[in-house]
Chains A and B, each alone.
Chain A
């Protein structure tokens, strides 16, 4: 079956612009995660969605970052007024219910802020 799909695969934007990153999880996966992977750093947890529960936003680095998940499926991560330090690979992962279920990752969106 189809894996986790992320779009776009690459995004170059000017500082100060807003960007939207999309994630389409594996069908039937109720849990969805966003991570950020910066050069020389480990994966950084951003936000977690589980079913209809309130999302865990504890990893979002600033109020410029937000995410939503519509209909329990597709998720969009929005970064407003992008800064150069936002340049990174943004990874989405989904999993079955059960917080130790293996994560299935998308190929990521490489964001470059110029």
Chain B
């Protein structure tokens, strides 16, 4: 079955600490992978995406993610977290030409301590 798992429902980090949010997927075709962020009361915003090529992708707000096919993972990282990064983070997987059938994880809620 196709699925996206974000193992951590909630994470708390201190401001300035590094961050890694995990995303594992099960998908039959070549995966297109996305990370979106949802701030309180806001819609989702695309952080970064991976379609092909370099497996380390850079996104907005200083985030990056690495696609590891052997581990079926697409973990999101940031070297130094800012208080404004507190939000809900969603990983999603889809296939070429099929945005409407994106499979979404349940999200990881990030809290940042001052």
Contacts and interface: CB of A to CB of B under 8 A. Distances in A.
Interface string B79-114: 000000000001010101111111111110000000
A104 B44 CA distance: 7
Contacts, number: 64
B43 A99 contact: no
Contacts of B90: 42-43
Interface residues of B, number: 27
A99 B98 contact: yes
B52 to A, nearest CB: 11
B70 interface: no
Contact of B106 (A6, A40, A105): A40
A99 B45 CA distance: 17
A48 interface: yes
Given A41-B106, A43-B90, A107 B99 contact: no
Contact of B46 (A41, A43, A56, A103): A103
B4 interface: yes
A100 B32 contact: yes
A45 B103 CA distance: 9
A33 interface: yes
B107 A102 contact: no
Interface in A89-107: 91, 93, 95, 99-107
A107 B42 contact: yes
Interface of A: 3-4, 6, 31, 33, 40-43, 45, 48, 56, 59, 91, 93, 95, 99-108
